Chains A and B, each alone.
Chain A
Amino acid sequence: MNRTFLPRSSRIAAVVATAAAAALVLTGCSSSSGGKKSEDEGADASAGKASTPRMTIAMVTHAPSGDTFWDTIRKGAEAAAAKDNVKLIYSNDETAGDQANLVQNAIDQKVDGIAVTLAKPDAMKAVVAKAEAAGIPVVGFNAGLGVWKEQGLLSFFGQDESVSGQALGTKLNSTGAKHAVCVVQAQGDVNLEERCAGVKKTFTGKTETLYVNGTDMPSVKSTITAKLNQDKAIDEVVTLGAPFALTAAQSVSEAGSKAKVATFDLNKDLITAIESGDIQFAVDQQPYLQGYLAVDSMWLFKNNGNYSGGGEQPVLTGPAFVDKSNVEKIAAFAAKGTR
């Protein structure tokens, strides 16, 4: 039933008008900057393909789904897999027990190599040993710097969280900060705790820890805002992930605080924020490199018997500082979501 009861002709006119308006919107109003078009115009880092026999590599991480940082790691892994003629099976679970199950799943599939993050090393110990017993080479990346060797892994790619934290703390001393708050977005993550502990170690001012719920951005924002309102002395917010840095910058302006924002890790929008000065600087651990090297090292091991890092030392991918002085070099790659 049509209760408005327009005469037929005017109803047709309405339809025509709507269609015309839609056509106008689609044609005449295309954006002159940004969007998919400009993204596609960026160069693509792709190369040829190895002629080595096809191999299967499983990558098992402790990442939450839908996280920018981990997506960058995956892009690196996929780029290496495409080059090396590797079939990549990526899987992830935040819960320690379930991540161990996923490694078992890869063993069941008889893969040629496993790349694993050891954020919860105790939980992964038994299943990693199982993989090694089954003759599957295992490399570690991103998390587990302290334990990769004792668990018999071939190599490790990542940054020393404590060293990076200390580097950030030292940098804060040179910028003259006095009172920092370190924002932890996932309780229970040893890595994140290590970063804050590293900052605390070298930073001469006061360091506080603030827990936020990283899966819920609005609550992150309001928690940081509340903290800044409550303690006006805070002049530095240290976040442990790029998205949180951008949120913290919003909190700072909301609270009318004088605090500056420094962060671990990097993403597209953060580059812009560093250029504009909203964010002071970032410590990058180059996630793309971690994913890429983890896959590539296993290809090298299988096809040329190489041990990346010599099997003795980890291969460090960070800390690489990004601030106003070098941000331009990186911007183009960050725009593609690979740096």
Chain B
Amino acid sequence: MSQTTAPAASSSPPAPPVTHKDGRTNQRSLGRRLLARPEVGALIAAIGVYLFFFAAAPSFRETSALATVLYQASVMGIMALPVALLMIGGEFDLSAGVAVTTSALTAAILSFQLSMNVWTGVFLALIVSLAVGAFNGWLLIKTRLPSFLVTLASFLILQGANLAVTKIFTGNVASDSIADMDGFDQAKKVFASEFSIGGVNFKITIVYWLIFAAIATWILLRTKFGNWIFAVGGSKDSARAVGVPVNFTKIALFMGVGACAWFVGMHLLFSFNTVQSGEGVGSEFLYIIAAVIGGCLLTGGYGSAIGSVIGAFIFGMVSQGIVYANWNPDWFKAFLGVMLLVAALVNLWVRRQATRR
């Protein structure tokens, strides 16, 4: 893989000012350049998966089924975005799954215990989530341990704290319902409402997901910070040598995961009124899977935000499609694994085809 500090190609390349050619800067054809984008392989895989279930499951063809798939993909995808950025920056976050639950629990418990407007809890939960992200980043830099280890530790800490703290305050393993408190309906409109297109209900998270994806793509491809992400993921020492603030970049990326964990946590809280303290375990791998299907490398320095959107969409299609097709649920996980493997392989193959000289 190239170790460039800039993305391999941007979505709209500037027109070349000079047209004399000496062979060193041969432009590859447009098709070739398009295929070399990290997310194109995933897009081809997504189209394949869609057509497959379109043929295999009649109820998958309905718009309502698409709404269900998109909803599942959006909840996962909102988290897959910052995780993808973090992976491009060369780090993992295994605590991302339980961090969502932590955030939702924080908002629910604080609002309930303080008997205040739920927006207070929402705001305090954001602070807690950002602090968890910052703590992960700070720990990584201070200990110099791999992020896999650091965030594995914070994953376990959060998992235990989720249960213990909830039990201390509520006496139960789930938070108390805050559905009858001030500001709940307002917050529900923001985080967990629905809108209708042609009689089919779509969840608001789908819109947020696409907006966040656009923002993440802009950051990655059009800002200085985006270049820093690629730089620290490609080679930390080289990046530091040319003046990239490595520590700042990494902490900011972890805080980005925290911010999105807060958002998804709020969505879960305001859709379901209560939060189960034991949930979120295992989701962290799904986020990573979505990012990887979308073209992120496990080694860092390469990938895209749009890719993680397509990756989450593939995951949503497969997990709901298996049910729409009425396949035996005993095989569910096996089907899922095979499908994901195929999607990742198609992705790899397309990239190889594209980067051949």
Interface residues of chain A, those whose CB is within 8 Å of chain B, are 65, 87, 89-92, 95-98, 100-102, 104-105, 107-110, 120, 122-123, 125-126, 186-190, 193, 211
Contacts and interface: CB of A to CB of B under 8 A. Distances in A.
A9 B64 CA distance: 70
Given A104-B68, A120-B272, 13 more contacts: A89-B323, A97-B272, A101-B68, A105-B323, A108-B59, A120-B276, A122-B273, A123-B274, A125-B272, A188-B163, A188-B173, A188-B279, A189-B278
B75 interface: yes
Nearest to A187: B278
Nearest to A97: B268
B103 interface: no
Contacts of A211: 163
A187 B59 contact: no
Given A65-B332, A92-B329, A96-B276, A188 B324 contact: no
A187 B163 CA distance: 8
Which range contains the number of B residues in contact with the other chain? 20 to 34
Nearest to B277: A188
B224 interface: no
A91 B331 CA distance: 11
B324 A108 contact: yes
Contact of B174 (A89, A104, A126, A188): A188
Interface string B146-190: 000000000000000001000000001110010100000000000
Contacts, number: 80
Interface string B232-272: 00000000000000000000000000000000000010011
26 contacts: A65-B329, A65-B330, A65-B333, A91-B329, A91-B332, A96-B279, A97-B268, A101-B68, A101-B72, A105-B65, A105-B324, A108-B64, A108-B324, A109-B59, A122-B179, A123-B272, A123-B274, A123-B276, A125-B273, A126-B271, A187-B163, A187-B173, A188-B276, A188-B278, A188-B279, A189-B173
Contacts of B177: 122
Contacts of A189: 173, 278
A109 B324 contact: yes
A101 B279 CA distance: 15
A101 B320 CA distance: 8
Contacts of A92: 329
A108 B68 contact: yes
A100 B268 CA distance: 12
B25 interface: no
Interface in B46-89: 59, 62, 64-65, 68, 71-72, 75
Contacts of B333: 65
Given A122-B177, A126-B271, A95 B64 contact: no
B143 interface: no
Nearest to B159: A187
B71 A101 contact: yes
Contacts of B11: none
A98 B333 CA distance: 14
B26 interface: no
Select the residue from A90, A100, A123 with max chain B CB neighbours within 10 A: A123
Nearest to B194: A126
A272 to B, nearest CB: 26
Contacts of B64: 107-108
A192 to B, nearest CB: 9
B171 to A, nearest CB: 9
Nearest to A88: B326
Nearest to B322: A91
Contact of B272 (A96, A109, A187): A96
A302 to B, nearest CB: 20
A211 B64 CA distance: 40
Contacts of B272: 96-97, 100, 120, 122-123, 125
Contacts of B277: 187-188
A51 B18 CA distance: 81
A190 B173 contact: yes
A12 B160 CA distance: 61
Interface in B261-298: 268, 271-274, 276-279
Given A187-B277, A188-B279, A193 B75 contact: no
Contacts of A109: 59, 324
A211 B166 CA distance: 15
A187 B75 CA distance: 23
A95 B279 contact: yes
A35 B323 CA distance: 34
A204 B139 CA distance: 48
A89 B326 contact: yes
B320 A97 contact: no
B173 A122 contact: no
B182 to A, nearest CB: 19
Choose among A95, A105, A120 the residue with the greatest number of B CB atoms under 10 Å from its CB: A105
Contacts of B320: 101, 105
Contacts of B329: 65, 90-92
B36 to A, nearest CB: 35
Most chain A CB within 10 A, of B72, B163, B272, is at B272
Given A89-B323, A190-B172, A122 B274 contact: yes
A104 B324 CA distance: 11
Interface in B2-50: none
Contacts of A122: 177, 179, 272-274
A219 B288 CA distance: 27
A229 to B, nearest CB: 22
Contact of B172 (A87, A89, A104, A193): A193
Interface string B320-357: 10011010011011000000000000000000000000
B97 to A, nearest CB: 10
Nearest to A119: B276
B301 to A, nearest CB: 33
